[in-house]
Amino acid sequence: MATRSFLDIIHRVRGDGDDPGDRHGGATGARGEGLPQASPRNFMFATGIECSYPTIDNGRVRRDLMEECGHYARWREDLALVPDLGLQVLRYGLPYYKVHRAPGRYDWEFCDLVLAEMKRLGITPAAFRRPRLDGEFPEPGLPVHFADYAAAVAQRYPWVRFYTPVNEIYVTARVSGRDGLWNEQLRTDRGFVTAMKHLVAGSILATHEITRRRPDCVIVQSESAEYTHEARATPSREIVLRNKRRFIALDLLYAYPPQADTYAYLLERRDPRGI
């Protein structure tokens, strides 16, 4: 039986575009028109808790950094330190692999406790997560399942307004698909491109679901700003392309046409199976 592409699955489940979620958002309300209002809330200085949880050693070991830093045991103390620092905003990644147990099945116990305490302390959470491509749900269904999860989060915590649906898409795709360090631990351009398109699709579909439930949501994209400086007068083609690859996630998220050499790179490295 032929493998269904991830786009086939998305079209079957989510339709062919013109999603209502594309017509919402913005600090000024549902239409998202105009400039932000003159309010100190338009600038937010946030702290955060490191919450990466990649698998290594070919999936045999999970490095949950919230576990390693003791946050699961001392989360009340950690949250109390936020207002002590004079801050009101906390970038906080819900432990996706612990919460989304299977399609349609969630474990909210820890999230309920933490978010209730944030609300009590007057902390504004900027929620984000970093899914992996295997383990949680096999490709090519991740974007659809991840969108269901985002819908469940927005419905369960309707007072949360700020979201980064997928944190650092480029970094996640690179370290998992090309650098061989996390999760899939692939070292190929095809692995990088496959990871990139799945993560971007998951972020877009998740944004649709969030905006349906919170039309005035604010989507905060977080991405790497790395740049490679080559010690030569004329940069090599590889380094030029490497520096352009860091923009692929943002180009795809915002429908900005990639430059010709980047576009050719994506086409040449796409998986012929369509996954």
Residue 91 is assigned to a structural domain of this protein: yes
**Residue count (the chain):** 275
Residue 118 is assigned to a structural domain of this protein: yes
Report the run of H or E that residue 115 belongs to, with start and end.
Answer: helix 109-121
Residue 259 is assigned to a structural domain of this protein: no
In this structure, what are the phi and psi dihedrals at residue 47, rounded to the nearest 5 degrees? -110, 180
Residue 12: the pLDDT is 81
Q: What is the largest CA-CA distance in the chain?
A: 59
Residue 9 is assigned to a structural domain of this protein: no
Residue 232 is assigned to a structural domain of this protein: no
Tell me, what CATH number does 65's domain have?
3.20.20.80
What are the helix and strand counts (H, E) for the chain? 11, 9
Dihedral of the CA atoms 114, 116, 120, 124 (nearest 10)? 70
Residue 144 is assigned to a structural domain of this protein: yes
Residue 210: the pLDDT is 93
Residue 258 is assigned to a structural domain of this protein: no
Count of Cβ atoms closer than 10 Å to residue 99 Cβ: 18
Residue 71: the pLDDT is 97
Domain that includes residue 178, residue range: 14-31+44-227
Residue 37: the pLDDT is 58
Residue 29: the pLDDT is 47
Q: Which residue has the tokens 């969108």?
A: 147
Residue 272: the pLDDT is 79
Domains identified in the chain, total number:
1
Residue 139 is assigned to a structural domain of this protein: yes
pLDDT tens for the chain, 275 residues long, are: 455 677 787 778 777 766 766 655 444 444 544 455 556 556 788 899 999 999 999 889 999 999 999 999 999 999 999 999 999 999 999 999 999 998 899 999 999 999 999 999 999 998 877 665 544 444 567 888 899 999 999 999 999 999 999 999 999 999 999 999 998 899 999 999 999 999 999 999 999 999 999 888 888 888 988 899 999 889 899 999 999 999 999 999 988 999 999 999 999 998 877 77
pTM: 0.88
